[in-house]
């Protein structure tokens, strides 16, 4: 199952490192990654694969929320279908 | 990979523009629970609801977390309870109230927010059970917390049952008086319909119609805030652009509803019924239908031009949503519940929005006069006359109309009544000071209208 991880906030050292570390520790594979500055905000979007992972979207969300709080970021983890269904026919 | 801008757009819709799924509503048929004995019947009703809906709330919450889309309510709609009242040996008000309490207990046991279907369809005439059930509505609503009730008093095919209209004026009054400690809160759970739909997931008017199956999942979407934000980007442009923008936004909102409906249906192993693509406001600022109308260029909702703006909105929502879902149904359009909409509350408080204008707006919106607080001393006949007007609009225009009106005990024009939660805050709106008593006292039926030779 694929999900999209979105990280938005003020640019700081270590955002990518911390987020990808949590994913790595939980055996979630990063399939694709893009990073840009949108409306003056650091915006990172990752497509991740939960295939071999032993955690659920909910559990990863909880773990990433700890980083989000610590670094003043907004982090979402959402199953991919929500975006494809909204923007693709 | 999906375009990053699209991903951010979706997230902004949810985070900043109040996009949500308003409700996943499970329709459960209670036809199998009919029987002559009240105790056995109540047990069957309780068992059936708690077994069919046992995973509804958990499934809703899982979808919410996995997809990151808020699902505000999980609800249940059931077969009109009058059907069960009719099967009783001797239907009495006490027995009907017991049925309402059973629904309340079962709904609370599975953790849903509301259960709808304490209903009777009497648009042409009453059966014995229906008569008793309607008599029991004030007590049933006063003695339960999350049971919702609706009564159909008219239809395009049958005309308007004016005896029922007369009675419903009295029932609304009684319901308000029995809950005077909460300023007539029971009335917020009671809808009087003309042309009700059988698959409506929204409260208080949800029930599972006669043509429906054993169990079904219907989903109601929302998102007035998203439409308002989209219109902010096309300021000053012509109505073609406005309609197009609303259509595109409604499409996206509805796709979300379709996805949630399919997931919920698959996970619960229950057939998917419909997506109701309604714009349902909440009292939160930024989640208002009135603000959409004002964004189109009206100084205040309720001024001249409001009906035209609402007509465009209602139609564009349907056009945009229809292609986004495999099955569209329910009420689908723009709701205008006064107390639940920050912009409407404001407009009613400053005098821009009157009951008369709201009545005109109901000709083109998705339902009718909704969540309107009127003075506590309004007579039952006047309430019946308001219901008759609204039913006539529905009957002639072949559309669903409804009245959910609260004659708040003790309240006078200018007061403000707090209901809390999704039901919001209602400014007390004046009604005509002239009576309709003799008109309502006539009784009988208004014949069904001719459906050809329209001009």
Residues B171 and B315 in one domain: no
Is residue B286, in this structure, part of any structural domain at all? yes
Residue B452's Cβ-count burial label (10 Å; 0-12, 13-18, 19+) is exposed
- Domain membership flag for residue B11: no
Looking at the domain assignment, is residue B47 inside a domain? yes
Query: Is the domain of B234 the same as that of B167?
Result: no
SS3 content of chain B, % helix, strand, coil (to 5): 45, 20, 35
- Pair B276, B319 in one domain: yes
Beta bridge partners of A30: A48
Contacts of B9 in chain A (CB under 8 A): 87
With vertex at residue B30, the alpha carbon angle to CA B29 and CA B34, rounded to the nearest 5 degrees, is: 145
- A78:B259 CB<8 A: no
> Long-range contacts for A10-16 (Cβ within 8 Å, ≥24 apart)?
A10/A41, A10/A42, A10/A72, A10/A73, A11/A37, A11/A42, A12/A42, A12/A71, A14/A71, A15/A42, A15/A44, A15/A71, A15/A73, A16/A44
Q: What are the chain A neighbours of B5 within 8 Å (beta carbons)? A: 38
Q: Looking at residue B238, which CATH number applies to its domain? A: 3.20.70.20
Tally the domains of chain B. 2
> What is the pLDDT at residue B226?
93
Cα–Cα distance for residue pair B16/B220, rounded to 1 Å: 20
**Contact, B330 vs B220, CB < 8 A?**
yes
Residue B75: beta bridge partners? B25, B114
Nearest chain A residue to B255, by CA: A86
State whether B176 and B141 are in the same domain: yes
**B312 and B436 part of one domain:** yes
Structure tokens that stand for B158 in this block: 């049958």
Same-domain check for residues B302 and B406: yes
How many A/B residue pairs have CB atoms within 8 Å?
69
- Which residues in chain A are closer than 8 Å to B66, comparing Cβ atoms? 56-58, 78-79
Separation CA B255–CA B96 (nearest Å): 40
Range of the domain at B266: 221-446
CB atoms within 10 A of CB A17: 8
CB B215 within 8 A of CB B49: no
- Burial string for A46-58 (b: 16+ CB within 10 Å, else e) reads bbbbbeebebbbe
Residues B231 and B324 in one domain: yes
Determine, for residues B6 and A86 on separate chains, whether the beta-carbon distance falls below 8 Å: yes
Residues of B whose CB is below 8 A from A83: 2, 6-7, 10
Please state the ipTM of this predicted complex: 0.86
Residues of chain A with pLDDT under 70: 53
Pair B201, B219: CB distance under 8 Å? yes
User: Min CA distance, A34 vs chain B (Å)?
Assistant: 8
Residue B449 is given by DSSP the state P
State CA B259 to chain mean position distance.
Answer: 23
- Measured between alpha carbons, how far is B407 from B166 in angstroms, rounded to an integer? 16
pLDDT, position B1: 60
* Neighbouring C-beta atoms of residue B294, cutoff 10 Å: 23
Does A83 sit within 8 Å of B2, measured CB to CB? yes
Residue B2 lies in a domain: no
Tell whether B259 and B363 lie within a shared domain. Answer: yes
User: Would residue B14 count as lying in a domain?
Assistant: no
DSSP character at residue B33: G
Closest-CA residue of chain A to B252: A86
Spell out the per-residue pLDDT of chain B, length 455, in tens. 678 888 988 998 988 888 899 999 999 999 999 999 999 999 999 999 999 999 999 999 999 999 999 999 999 999 999 999 999 999 999 999 999 999 999 999 999 999 999 999 999 999 999 999 999 999 999 999 999 999 999 999 999 999 999 999 999 999 999 999 999 999 999 999 999 999 999 999 999 999 999 999 999 998 899 999 999 999 999 999 999 999 999 999 999 999 999 999 999 999 999 999 889 998 887 889 999 999 999 999 999 999 999 999 999 999 999 999 999 999 998 999 999 999 999 999 999 999 999 999 999 998 999 999 999 999 999 999 999 999 999 999 999 999 999 999 999 999 999 998 888 999 999 999 999 999 999 999 999 998 877 66
Which of B141, B176, B194 is the last residue before a domain boundary? B194
Question: Within this chain, do residues B34 and B165 fall inside the same structural domain, yes or no?
Answer: yes
Residue B207 lies in a domain: no
d(CA B410, CA B408): 6
Are B172 and B320 within one domain?
A: no
Which residues 6+ apart lie within 8 Å of B116 measured at CB?
Answer: B25, B75, B76, B77, B78, B147, B148, B149, B150, B203, B204, B205, B206, B207
C-alpha span between B101 and B30 (Å, rounded): 15
Residue of A nearest to B8 (CA): A6
Length of chain B as a residue count: 455
- Per-residue model confidence (pLDDT) at position B15: 86
What are the boundaries of each domain within chain A?
2-87
Going by C-beta distance under 8 Å and a sequence separation of 6 or more, which residues neighbour residue B404?
A: B187, B188, B190, B191, B192, B204, B205, B337, B368, B369, B370, B371, B372
Residue B199, exposed/middle/buried by CB under 10 A (0-12, 13-18, 19+)? buried
Q: What pairing do the DSSP bridges indicate for beta strands B215-221 and B114-121?
A: unpaired
Inside any domain, residue B204: no
This prediction's pTM: 0.93
Question: Which pair of structure tokens corresponds to residue A78?
Answer: 């959402």
Q: How far is Cα of residue A24 from the mean position of the Cα atoms in its chain? A: 12
Distance, in Å, from the CA atom of B50 to the CA atom of B30, rounded to the nearest integer, reads 12
CATH number of A2-87: 3.30.70.260
- pLDDT computed for residue A12 by the predictor: 87
């Amino acid at each position: 199952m694929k999900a999209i991880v979105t990280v938005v906030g003020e640019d700081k050292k270590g955002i990518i490192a911390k987020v990808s570390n949590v994913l790595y520790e939980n055996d979630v594979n990063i399939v694709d990654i893009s990073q840009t500055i949108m409306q003056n905000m650091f915006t990172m979007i990752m497509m991740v694969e939960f295939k071999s992972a032993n955690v659920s979207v909910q559990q990863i969300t909880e773990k990433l929320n700890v980083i989000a709080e610590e670094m003043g970021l907004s982090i979402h983890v959402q199953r991919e279908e929500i975006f494809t269904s909204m923007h693709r026919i | 990979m999906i375009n990053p801008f699209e991903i951010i757009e979706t997230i902004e819709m949810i985070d900043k523009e109040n996009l949500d799924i308003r409700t996943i509503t499970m329709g459960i048929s209670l036809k199998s629970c009919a029987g002559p004995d009240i105790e056995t019947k109540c047990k069957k009703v309780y068992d059936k609801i708690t077994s069919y809906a046992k995973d509804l709330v958990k499934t809703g919450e899982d979808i919410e977390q996995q997809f990151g889309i808020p699902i505000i309510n999980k609800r249940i709609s059931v077969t009109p309870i009058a059907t069960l009242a009719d099967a009783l040996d001797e239907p009495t008000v006490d027995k009907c109230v017991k049925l309402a309490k059973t629904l309340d207990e079962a709904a609370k046991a599975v953790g849903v927010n509301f259960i709808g279907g304490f209903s009777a369809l009497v648009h042409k005439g009453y059966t014995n059970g229906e008569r008793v059930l309607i008599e029991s509505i004030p007590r049933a609503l006063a003695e339960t917390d999350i049971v919702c009730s609706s009564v159909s008093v008219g239809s395009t095919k049958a005309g308007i049952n004016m005896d029922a209209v007369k009675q419903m004026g009295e029932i609304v009054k009684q319901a308000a008086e029995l809950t005077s400690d909460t300023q007539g809160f029971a009335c917020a759970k009671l809808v009087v319909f003309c042309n009700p739909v059988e698959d409506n997931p929204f409260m208080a008017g949800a029930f599972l119609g006669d043509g429906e199956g054993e169990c079904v999942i219907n989903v109601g979407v929302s998102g007035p805030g998203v439409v308002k934000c989209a219109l902010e980007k096309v300021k000053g442009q012509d109505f073609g652009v406005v309609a197009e923008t609303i259509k595109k936004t409604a499409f996206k909102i509805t796709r979300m509803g379709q996805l949630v409906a399919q997931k919920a249906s698959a996970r619960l192993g229950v057939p998917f019924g419909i997506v109701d693509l309604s714009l349902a406001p909440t009292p939160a600022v930024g989640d208002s239908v009135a603000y959409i109308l004002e964004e189109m260029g009206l100084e205040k909702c309720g001024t001249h031009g409001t009906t035209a703006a609402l007509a465009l909105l209602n139609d564009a929502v349907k056009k945009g949503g229809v292609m986004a879902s495999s099955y569209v149904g329910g009420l689908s359009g723009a709701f205008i519940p006064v107390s639940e909409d920050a912009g409407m509350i404001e407009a009613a408080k400053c005098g821009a929005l009157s009951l008369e204008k709201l009545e005109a707006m109901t000709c083109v919106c998705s339902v009718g006069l909704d969540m309107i607080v009127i003075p506590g001393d309004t007579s039952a006949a006047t309430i019946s006359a308001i219901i008759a007007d609204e039913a006539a609009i529905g009957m002639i225009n072949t559309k669903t109309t409804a009245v959910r009106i609260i004659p708040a005990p003790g309240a006078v024009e200018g007061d403000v009544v707090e209901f809390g939660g999704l039901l919001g805050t209602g400014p007390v709106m004046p009604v005509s000071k002239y009576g309709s008593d003799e008109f309502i006292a006539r009784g009988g039926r208004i014949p069904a209208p001719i459906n050809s030779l329209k001009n």
